[in-house]
Amino acid sequence: MPLRLTEKSRAKTAMGLARADNLLNDIVIGMIEELSEMVQDECFREFEKRERTDFITSYDQYPSDPVPQFLKVKAWPIDPDAALTVTYSPNDDHDNAAYTLVLNTDYSVDYDSGTIIIKASPQLGFRTLPQLAGLAYAYAPRGFKVTYTGGYAVNDTVSSPPDPLDDDGMIMVPLGLRSFIASKIGADYIAKKQIQQFKPEEIQALYPYRR
């Protein structure tokens, strides 16, 4: 399903349109989907909640005195009630796990920010690397594989018969982000109207956010 990060009704309000006006529904949805994809790309994250597997390469800078490593998953918040598995290999071969990490022993989790803190544990087999250019440390790549459920839930409530104001399929991101996207759509729409007057049925041909 295409990505939608705000409500049709919220976008219509920002555009100065009647919430119950069905004439522009398809156009408004197209605008929401296009801008939602742009926002997700700019944020370097994913918003839809689902089970995921992320492959993350991290590095030990000081094998003789390892420090905690911070792994950032692609979608957050992480669901604390869903299964979470973290494995690692002593190189960047993510699939050939040398060790399955133990929660609260080898790592801890900040569920809200989607950050996994890998503790400095001798059980992870920190390597002693050859000295490079007289230095007592070197970068040691490690491949982490994280299986988890992360992101924001999708609104799947649909009335029967369907109501034009239903927002089924919209991802329930925080209110601030939903309001920002709606405001951007409204501002673009109003700016376009100021450049050229047109009838509502002509929007699909004139507006850049056409489907």
Confidence of residue 119 (pLDDT cuts 50, 70, 90): confident
Structure tokens at 198: 């047109």
Rounded to two decimals, the pTM is: 0.76
Check whether 86 has a pLDDT greater than 90.
yes
Q: Taking the CA of residue 156 as centre, how many other CA atoms within 13 Å lie in the half-sphere pointing to its CB?
A: 6
* Contact (CB, 8 A) for 51 and 149: yes
The whole-number pLDDT of residue 165 equals 64
Confidence of residue 24 (pLDDT cuts 50, 70, 90): confident
* Contact (CB, 8 A) for 169 and 155: yes
**β-strands 50-60, 69-72: how paired?**
unpaired
What whole-number distance in Å separates Cα of residue 186 and Cα of residue 209?
12
Where are the domains positioned within the chain? 8-46+154-206, 50-150
Buried residues in 69-99 as b, exposed as e (16+ CB within 10 A): bebebbbbbbbeeeebebbbbbeeebeebee
